[in-house]
Structure 1
Amino acid sequence: MPVLPARALLLDMDGTLVNSDAVVERIWRRWADRHGLDGDEVMRVVHGRQGYASMAVLLPDRPMEQNYADNARMLAEETADLDGVVPVPGAAEFLASLRAQDVPYALVTSADVALSTARMAAAGLPMPDVRITAESVGASKPDPEGFLKGAAELGIAAADCVVFEDSGAGIAAGHAAGMRVVGVGPRAAAHGPDVVVRDLREIRVEAVRDGAGDDTRGGVRIHVGRD
């Protein structure tokens, strides 16, 4: 199995820890219908980005003020619609392992505080102590700002962080931040992550306490693949 050394993990939420595809499909396809856009084309763009950034790609001539207003309405819709939100297989065990071993990690999501809190709760997953949400950044993925802020909050150099992501925008953001990326799920493989897993059951994180890592920074080995 491949083994990635690291000192911290930066975790996307949607598609990585939480499977929210059902509600994302419902809400974005309704939006596509309202604007006369092809739903399949819209779905190829929206994963990983903040809503206003997706709208800017899909409606390039529309004023950004309208995108921000539309984004606020859609965030409220998404927060209220939790039907079908479930954990990605292995997510609960993965997060429990990080906590039990005192591994530094952070959530880095394009969702805002309300949406990320609602979806993590609906999936039955604990919210990480350190989280970078839409309110924390001035630029959406694929800009690396979110991941760089996550590393800074943890006090870990970017090169010592490993990103877990499912989307093209998120994978690009991780690489732009100078980080290695584990691609999670079926969307990830097409976007060039360093390694790919089907879900989080194929990840085992081992804290290093024998001098091979930095004990004060939580050195870890990330084992990728099924035992």
Structure 2
Amino acid sequence: MPATTPLIARALLLDMDSTIVNSEAVVERCWRRWAAEQGLDADEVLKVVHGRQGWATMAALLPDRPMELNHEDNRRMLEQETADVEGVVPVPGAPAFMAALAQLPHALVTSADRALSDARMGAAGLPMPDVRITAESVSASKPDPEGFLKGAAELGYAPEDCVVFEDSEAGIAAGRAAGMRVVGVGERAAAFGPDVHVRDLREVRVEALADGSIALHIAA
């Protein structure tokens, strides 16, 4: 990995889907099915589903639809997604990245609920962080910063001391709104203005510094 100026943090906040876990196949299957039920163009739906809780995506796509129907569909889709782990694998570099974080302050901040995060992290063979913020933990979906702010608070660090890892427009916006620096992961993230962009987690090396902080060495 080429030498770079490291990004220094006290704690890391990690999105799950498409950031450390590749669940794109499941997401596409479930949302294509929902789009067909609603008579929507599935390709257009898939452009906006990433990062948000399901009900928030539905509300954005069908603004005149009663919210109770969105919550009902969201519950049904969460059950389907939790049961379907075919094709769920770690993002390249994620196992080594998570192993490097094992003794360092970090949290999962995901729009998935606890059951879905258990299923996907387990299917990908990744360790669950001791601190996780899930759909049940917040009152607002990304791009609202609530989840990241709660993650930082639970870890005991100020927002400016945290670095977020995200893939989606909503997630990157949430990290920025929380006052945090953002590493965008994957091809999709590059378009949304993260502070740093990597193709995958093989381009990140984690170093624990003597003062307790974390140096993130990013491939050029």
TM range (shorter): over 0.9
The residue that corresponds to 2:213 in the other structure is 219
Name the SS for the 1:46 alignment partner.
Answer: coil
The residue that corresponds to 2:6 in the other structure is 3
What is the alpha-carbon distance in structure 2 between the residues aligned to residue 147 and residue 18 of structure 1?
18
Q: Which runs of structure 2 are paired with 1:78-93 in the superposition (5 Å)? A: 78-93=81-96
Contact 1:79 1:119 in 2 (8 A): yes
Name the SS for the 1:45 alignment partner.
Answer: coil
What is the alpha-carbon distance in structure 2 between the residues aligned to residue 69 and residue 34 of structure 1?
14
Name the SS for the 2:47 alignment partner.
Answer: helix
Contact 1:137 1:145 in 2 (8 A): yes
The residue that corresponds to 1:171 in the other structure is 172
Unaligned runs of 5+ in 2: none
Counterpart selection for 2:75 from 72, 80, 84: 72
Identical-pair percentage? 75
Q: Which runs of structure 2 are paired with 1:12-91 in the superposition (5 Å)? A: 12-91=15-94
Shift of 1:2: 3.8
What is the alpha-carbon distance in structure 1 between the residues aligned to residue 92 and residue 184 of structure 2?
14
Q: 1:4-43 CA deviation, whole Å, 9 max, x = no partner? A: 1100000000000100000000000110011011111101
Shift of 1:208: 1.0
Q: 1:77-109 CA deviation, whole Å, 9 max, x = no partner? A: 00001010000011010010111xx21000000
What is the alpha-carbon distance in structure 1 between the residues aligned to residue 209 and residue 86 of structure 2?
39
Contact 1:55 1:67 in 2 (8 A): yes
What is the alpha-carbon distance in structure 2 between the residues aligned to residue 154 and residue 22 of structure 1?
32
Contact 1:185 1:199 in 2 (8 A): yes
| Letter of the structure 2 residue corresponding to residue 24 of structure 1 | V
What is the alpha-carbon distance in structure 1 between the residues aligned to residue 214 and residue 53 of structure 2?
30
What is the alpha-carbon distance in structure 2 between the residues aligned to residue 155 and residue 3 of structure 1?
23
Unaligned runs of 5+ in 1: 210-214
What is the alpha-carbon distance in structure 1 between the residues aligned to residue 74 and residue 93 of structure 2?
31
Shift of 1:3: 1.5
When normalised by structure 2's length, the TM-score is 0.97
What is the alpha-carbon distance in structure 1 between the residues aligned to residue 157 and residue 77 of structure 2?
34
Contact 1:2 1:225 in 2 (8 A): no
The residue that corresponds to 1:208 in the other structure is 209
What is the alpha-carbon distance in structure 2 between the residues aligned to residue 53 and residue 108 of structure 1?
16
What is the alpha-carbon distance in structure 2 between the residues aligned to residue 2 and residue 170 of structure 1?
25
Matched, 1:125 2:126: yes
**Moved runs in structure 1, 4+ residues, more than 3 A?**
none
The residue that corresponds to 1:159 in the other structure is 160
Shift of 1:225: 0.8
Q: 1:170-192 CA deviation, whole Å, 9 max, x = no partner? A: 00000000000000001100010
Shift of 1:222: 0.8
When normalised by structure 1's length, the TM-score is 0.94
The residue that corresponds to 1:212 in the other structure is none
- Cα RMSD of the aligned pairs, angstroms, is 0.8
Contact 1:109 1:132 in 2 (8 A): yes
What is the alpha-carbon distance in structure 1 between the residues aligned to residue 154 and residue 83 of structure 2?
29
Shift of 1:144: 0.2
What is the alpha-carbon distance in structure 1 between the residues aligned to residue 98 and residue 82 of structure 2?
23
